A and B are shown apart, each in its own frame.
Chain A
Amino acid sequence: MELSLKHREARRNGAGWLAVYAASVFAFLYLPIVVLIVYSFNRDGVGGFPPQHLTIEWYRQLAGDQAIWDAVWNSLLVALAATVTALALGLPAALALDRVSFPGKALFRRLVLLPLILPGIITGLSLLMLAVFAGMKLSLWTVLLGHGIALLSVATTELFAGIQKMDRAQEEASLDLGAAYWRTFWRVTLPNLRLPLVAAALLIFTLSVDEIAVSFFLIGRDNTLPLEIWGRLRRGMTPEINAVSTIIFVFSVALILVSYRLRTRGAREPEGAADVLQATFQGDQP
């Protein structure tokens, strides 16, 4: 009895230390974000301590900064187009992986997933070479191409997981009731994949807005937002960058909340991102 009490106490102690450790990891993860947000309201610039003279001056400056808003607009355009492209190709790719056998399928599966795990620089450079080879001028179009191919892996993995979870008999029932393949696709397959489609779209959109490693090599005269910020960092740092980062942060969190809502409503385990990561390693079962 005494022994088990001791035992339990030891366990509680262990859990206590672990809780403290976990709390410090959280602190580490959130420290830069908090600093970033706090200093976006700091009149005296991005450094120093403590922050003084809180102001929204930087947000006001940001509001009048045409170059930033152009970049935001470009980023949104690219992200929207990249989402559409990645889904439009990722859905057939996922369907093909699920139900078509063709020579080179294993290679195809690995190739599709490669940009997810490969350092962005390799994908970016290869596409740069293609652009030069084909005589394409670098522009937002080449950036879109880069995102379209890099994020195809995300679309394919997410949608493949959705197809695997779908009830097969649904499509069979539709065919059985006389709807041919195209109709079955529109009336049954697509509605059944609604949640994975929306989840994948949100994920791809967010990743595209953030993307920098691939875009770095493919960008032309017009900047996306991350590259605009990148360019400014070389010239010097002002809290205006904190301000725009804060806005992106709030925007991203809002998107996550939406996608989380969708996921839980679809009664899926909230591990989509982990699924994507893990699938990358298991080439034969994306």
Chain B
Amino acid sequence: MAPLLNIRSIAKRFGARHVLHDISLDVNPGEFLTVLGESGSGKTTLLRVIAGFEQPDAGEIWMAGERLDTLPPYRRRVNTVFQHYALFPHLSVFENVAYGLRVQGVAKSEVGSRVEKALGMVKMDSYVASAPSTLSGGQQQRVALARALVNRPRLLLLDEPLSALDANLRRQMQGELKTLQREVGIAFLFVTHDQDEAMALSDRIALLRAGALEQVASPREIYSRPATAYTAQFIGQANLLRAEIANGVARWGALAWPCDAAVGPADFSLRPEHIRFTAAPPADDSHTVCFCASIVRQIFCGATDLLEITCQSGHRLRARVPSRGVLEGEYRFEFSAADAVRLREGGER
């Protein structure tokens, strides 16, 4: 399937500050792609470059065989849901949603029905005559969505649209957003700094770090096979093990597991929940790593406990185990060698 949007080596700087370096990314038709990154990682700038509010310094953007980056924003078949909604305060809800249709010269009769349908889709059809300032944050959010979707864009850009909502409403809107996206079948490019939101919503996540793409993959893939130390730590929690490889074995302190990579140092990521208690004595199975460690700290998190443990060699790890009361002293732990994911080198930038 040909990608809908094709971003080719985009670079952007503001003065001396490089905000985006050599970004290449494809968006497929109908997919929910999230650009995830810390504040200042350039994710909003990337969105604004696609929408046409910023000109890239290098690179090209193509959409369905048409070059996009040379077009002014009003000629791009892309619509945006703004972070603070940017509803026009001098227009009613209806006129806000109708705005795009009117400026494109859509027939009057059609405007009415399309606006009502769009507002119905976001359950705001009873507010047509309201002024935006009388609506709650969540309602404004819905109107902003309807205003963008009514134009039937090929791609919808969403700039942290949920960040201004409180936690409960936010979770509810996440669900609705996902359902809506399935219904309309339009590709969503969603920007957020919230990894949980990204995991819950996306078909794919593009992790942006200091203006460059760190990893692009499905939520499951990016969680279970993080490519870099940054990814491993940004998405979920991870133990970073700096091991030494020799003779097909990786060694980290007293722990060792098979690894067929080249001789030398290598970083591994190990999720805390992959470390578990074990009663059995060390088996002869080299694919399970067993060790003894004492508990330094126990943090109660409800269904699970997060343990900070120290191996006999002095190396520290974090383990997440099902809650079962207060723990003290030394215990025996194990993890599967397959769960220690080898990371790409050059993680530091």
The chain A residues found within 8 Å of chain B, CB to CB, are: 167, 169-170, 172-181, 183-184, 187-188, 191-192, 194
The answer to whether A175 and B100 touch across the interface, beta carbons within 8 angstroms, is no
Measured between C-beta atoms, what is the minimum distance from A148 to chain B in Å?
29
The answer to whether A169 and B86 touch across the interface, beta carbons within 8 angstroms, is yes
Known: A180-B72, A183-B103. A175 touches B52 (CB 8 A): yes
The answer to whether A178 and B104 touch across the interface, beta carbons within 8 angstroms, is yes
Chain B residue at minimum C-beta to C-beta distance from A175: B73
The answer to whether A173 and B103 touch across the interface, beta carbons within 8 angstroms, is no
Q: Which of A173, A179, A183, A191 has the most CB of B within 10 A?
A: A173
The answer to whether A170 and B72 touch across the interface, beta carbons within 8 angstroms, is no
Q: Which residues of A contact B86 (CB under 8 A)?
A: 167, 169-170, 172-173
Known: A169-B86, A172-B53, A191-B90. A180 touches B80 (CB 8 A): no
**Is B127 an interface position by the 8 A CB rule?**
no
Q: Which residues of A contact B78 (CB under 8 A)?
A: 176
Given A178-B74, A183-B103, 4 other A-B residues pairs in contact with their CB atoms under 8 A: A174-B88, A175-B52, A178-B103, A181-B72
Q: Which 7 A-B pairs have the closest CB atoms?
A: A169-B86, A177-B100, A175-B73, A179-B103, A173-B86, A191-B90, A169-B82
Sampled A-B contacts (11; CB under 8 Å): A172-B80, A176-B51, A176-B53, A176-B78, A177-B74, A178-B100, A178-B103, A179-B99, A179-B103, A188-B88, A191-B88
The answer to whether A192 and B151 touch across the interface, beta carbons within 8 angstroms, is no
Q: Which of B73, B79, B100, B103 has the most CB of A within 10 A?
A: B73
Q: How far is the CA of A164 from the CA of B103 in the complex (A)?
A: 26
Contact partner, A192, options B73, B82, B90, Cβ 8 Å: B90
Chain A residue at minimum C-beta to C-beta distance from B84: A169
Chain B residue at minimum C-beta to C-beta distance from A194: B90
Q: How far is the CA of A184 from the CA of B102 in the complex (A)?
A: 12
Q: Which residues of B contact A181 (CB under 8 A)?
A: 72, 74
Q: How far is the CA of A185 from the CA of B36 in the complex (A)?
A: 34
Please tell me the number of chain B residues within 8 Å of chain A, measured between CB atoms.
Answer: 25
Known: A183-B103, A191-B90, A192-B90. A175 touches B74 (CB 8 A): yes
The answer to whether B88 and A178 touch across the interface, beta carbons within 8 angstroms, is no
Q: Which of A169, A172, A176 has the most CB of B within 10 A?
A: A176
Q: How far is the CA of A170 from the CA of B96 in the complex (A)?
A: 11
Q: Which residues of B contact A176 (CB under 8 A)?
A: 51-53, 73-74, 78-80, 148
A-B contact number at CB 8 A: 69
Q: Which residues of A contact B73 (CB under 8 A)?
A: 172, 175-176
Q: Which residues of A contact B84 (CB under 8 A)?
A: 167, 169
Q: Which of B51, B86, B147, B151 has the most CB of A within 10 A?
A: B86
Contact partner, B103, options A172, A177, A192, Cβ 8 Å: A177
**Is B83 an interface position by the 8 A CB rule?**
yes
Measured between C-beta atoms, what is the minimum distance from B194 to chain A in Å?
20
Q: How far is the CA of A176 from the CA of B103 in the complex (A)?
A: 11
Q: How far is the CA of A156 from the CA of B11 in the complex (A)?
A: 36
Contact indicator per residue, chain B 36-63, by CB within 8 Å of chain A (1) or not (0): 0000000000000001110000000000
Q: How far is the CA of A248 from the CA of B90 in the complex (A)?
A: 35
Q: Which residues of B contact A169 (CB under 8 A)?
A: 82-84, 86
Contact partner, B74, options A170, A180, A194, Cβ 8 Å: A180
The answer to whether B103 and A170 touch across the interface, beta carbons within 8 angstroms, is no
Measured between C-beta atoms, what is the minimum distance from B58 to chain A in Å?
21
The answer to whether B82 and A172 touch across the interface, beta carbons within 8 angstroms, is yes
Q: Which residues of A contact B99 (CB under 8 A)?
A: 174, 177, 179, 187
Q: How far is the CA of A177 from the CA of B100 in the complex (A)?
A: 5
Q: How far is the CA of A183 from the CA of B100 in the complex (A)?
A: 11
Measured between C-beta atoms, what is the minimum distance from B167 to chain A in Å?
24
The answer to whether B104 and A173 touch across the interface, beta carbons within 8 angstroms, is no
Measured between C-beta atoms, what is the minimum distance from B160 to chain A in Å?
12
Measured between C-beta atoms, what is the minimum distance from A99 to chain B in Å?
12
Q: How far is the CA of A192 from the CA of B88 in the complex (A)?
A: 9
Q: How far is the CA of A184 from the CA of B86 in the complex (A)?
A: 14
Q: How far is the CA of A173 from the CA of B144 in the complex (A)?
A: 10
The answer to whether A179 and B74 touch across the interface, beta carbons within 8 angstroms, is yes
Within 86-142 of B, Cβ neighbours of A (below 8 Å) are at: 86-90, 99-100, 103-104
Measured between C-beta atoms, what is the minimum distance from B14 to chain A in Å?
13
Q: How far is the CA of A262 from the CA of B99 in the complex (A)?
A: 27
Chain A residue at minimum C-beta to C-beta distance from B48: A172
Chain B residue at minimum C-beta to C-beta distance from A173: B86
The answer to whether A172 and B51 touch across the interface, beta carbons within 8 angstroms, is yes
The answer to whether B52 and A173 touch across the interface, beta carbons within 8 angstroms, is no
Q: How far is the CA of A7 from the CA of B109 in the complex (A)?
A: 75
